[in-house]
Structure 1
Amino acid sequence: MLSDILSQYTDDNYFIVISTFALIYIFLQAFSIPGSIFLSFLSGGLFGIWVGFPLVCVIATIGATCSYLISYYIVRNLVMNFFPDKLELFATEVGKRRASLLNYIIFLRITPFLPNWFINLASPLLDVPISTFAIGTFIGIMPATFLAVKAGLAIQEISKPGDIFDFKSVASMALLAVLSIVPTLDPVRRRLDKLLNRTGSTPDSSPKLHSQ
Structure 2
Amino acid sequence: MFVRHAPLAIIILFAVVGFFTLRDYITFDTLQQHREALLDFRDANYAVMAAAFVATYFVIVAFSLPGAAVASVTGGFLFGLAVGTVYNVIGASLGAFAIFLAARWGLGRTLAARLEASEGTLKRVRQGLREHEISVLFLLRLVPAVPFFAANLLPALVGVKFVNFAITTVLGIIPGAIVFTWIGVGVGEVFDRGGKPDMSLLWEPQIIGPLLGLAALAALPIVIKTIRGRKDI
Tell me the distance in 1 between the aligned counterparts of 2:68 and 2:125: 27
Ranked by relative contact order (alpha carbons within 8 Å, sequence separation 6 or more), the top structure is 1
Work out whether residues 57 and 142 of structure 1, in 8 Å CA contact, stay in contact via their aligned partners in 2.
yes
Aligned to 2:166: 134
Tell me the distance in 2 between the aligned counterparts of 1:91 and 1:74: 21
- 2:189 maps to 1:152: no
Tell me the distance in 1 between the aligned counterparts of 2:145 and 2:132: 18
- 2:144 maps to 1:112: yes
Aligned to 2:128: 96
Aligned CA RMSD, in angstroms, stands at 3.7
Bigger helix fraction: 2
- 2:76 maps to 1:57: no
Structure 2 unaligned blocks of 5 or more: 1-32, 113-120, 222-228
CA distances 1:131-173 after superposition (whole Å, capped 9, x unpaired): 11111111221222111111111012136989x96xxxx9798
Aligned to 2:53: 21
CA distance 1:94–1:134, shift in 2 (3 Å): farther
Work out whether residues 140 and 180 of structure 1, in 8 Å CA contact, stay in contact via their aligned partners in 2.
no
- 2:65 maps to 1:36: no
Work out whether residues 72 and 88 of structure 2, in 8 Å CA contact, stay in contact via their aligned partners in 1.
yes
Give the TM-score of the pair, scaled to structure 2.
0.61
Structure 1 unaligned blocks of 5 or more: 81-88, 187-202, 204-212
How many positions carry a matched residue from both structures? 177
Aligned to 1:83: none
What is the DSSP-based 3-state SS (H/G/I as helix, E as strand, rest coil) of the residue aligned with 1:34?
Answer: coil
CA distance 1:93–1:125, shift in 2 (3 Å): same
For residues 165-184 of structure 1, the aligned pairs below 5 Å read: none
Give the TM-score of the pair, scaled to structure 1.
0.66
CA distance 1:178–1:45, shift in 2 (3 Å): same
Q: Percent identity?
A: 25
CA distance 1:173–1:47, shift in 2 (3 Å): farther
For residues 188-207 of structure 1, the aligned pairs below 5 Å read: none
